[in-house]
Structure 1
Amino acid sequence: MQALLKLSNGIDAINRFVGKYSIWLIFAATFISAANAIVRKAFDNSSNAFLEVQWYLFAWSFLIAAGYTLLNREHVRIDVLNSRLSKKTQVWIDIIGFAFFLTPLCITILVLSMPELIQKYQSAEMSGNSGGLIRWPVWAAIPVGITLLMLQGWSEIIKRIAFLAGKGPDPMGKLADKTAEEELMEVLRATEKAKKPATAAPH
């Protein structure tokens, strides 16, 4: 079990790292969108490549962050019935879901997407749009993102089995990591505190 927990921690670390830095893909897409709009308005010039690279970046950010989203339990859940069940039953439902629904789905997507990716890479297939981009880089986001999601599903299974065996913390409890909103509030409080003049020391 300790070896499995180390594996789980390793998977968590990978997805935490990927999720943390995938935000830069959104920033790049936003920057390109703004630059494209400025160039189009100011110089009456544009290209489909600017539009397609935005789609590529969004696809990459969405897919590779799927495992990170699962790690932080931010996927949509319908807890109308699940929340009324015991903790042990909830954990078993998650184990069954990850093992018999998420994993087969991910494997199916990998099996179907890999031949397409290989074919597009070998043929150097280009976009049908004028000035468009080569296709295989965006297709590569599918197996990468789905693999990260599947691995995170396995990590969640390990954590839940460890919990049932009494060798791990509650995997359904509150996350120790701070949310982006909480981190922002701390920064704002620190900034506000720094702006306040220091109180004069008594003589």
Structure 2
Amino acid sequence: MDILLTLARWIDHLNDRFGIIAKYAVIASCLISAGNAVIRYSFNISSNAWLEIQWYLFAACVMLGASQVLRLNEHVRVDLFYGRLTGHGKVYVDLFGLIFFLVPVMSVMLWLSWPLFLQKLASGEMSSNAGGLVRWPAVLMLPLGFAMVLLQGLAEIVKRIAWLMHRYEMDIHYERPLQ
């Protein structure tokens, strides 16, 4: 279990780094958007590349930030009874969702998105818009994001099993019921 917990901590650390990239992608996207608007309305100059880089950065924000959201346990849950559960109940529900939903879905999405990325990389496909950008960097966010969520899901499984075995301390939200 110690080796698996070390691996889980390494995955957490890696996702912390991708979370930082996602955070800066949001800031860069906002600055580019504002700068593009100012230049377009002040000088009547615009480029599709500036518009496309915004959605590339948004893709990075969403796909690289998703694993960090899972790591911090801040993801959205639509569950009528989860909030009323305490410690073990929440962990068992989490484990069920991670094992039977998150891991299989992320595996399939990774499997499907990787060939798409390789195709875009090999072809050097460009946007059809005038002044558009090459597409593969945006498409790379798909398999990379799915892989990071899959890894974080595996790390969360390890941490929850270790918690059940009294080998790992988790956040207090598992200790008290929702009022």
Q: Is the TM value for this pair above 0.5?
A: yes
Conservation of the 8 A alpha-carbon contact between 2:21 and 2:64: no
The code of the aligned residue for 1:28 comes to A
Distance 1:87 1:174, change over 3 A: closer
Residue 173 of structure 1 pairs with residue 167 of structure 2 = no
Which residue of 2 is the match for residue 55 of structure 1?
55
Partner in structure 2 of residue 69 of structure 1: 69
Note the residue ranges of structure 1 that are not aligned, 5 or more in a row: 176-203
Structure-1-length-normalised TM-score: 0.81
1:15 aligns with 15
TM-aligned CA distance change 1:21 to 1:135, over 3 Å: closer
| Deviation by residue 1:130-171 (Cα, 9 ceiling, x = unmatched) | 2211111100001111111111111111111011111111x3
RMSD: 1.6
Partner of 1:39 in structure 2?
39
Shift of 1:79: 4.1
CA displacement, residues 80-110 of structure 1 (integer Å, 9 cap, x when unaligned): 3123334222211211211111011111111
SS in 1 for 2:163: helix
Distance in 2 between the 1:144 and 1:112 partners? 12
Percent identical residues? 42
State the secondary structure of the residue aligned to 2:6.
helix
Map Cα deviations across residues 159-193 of structure 1 (whole Å, 9 max, x no partner): 11011111111x35259xxxxxxxxxxxxxxxxxx
Flag the structure with higher helix content: 2
Aligned length: 174
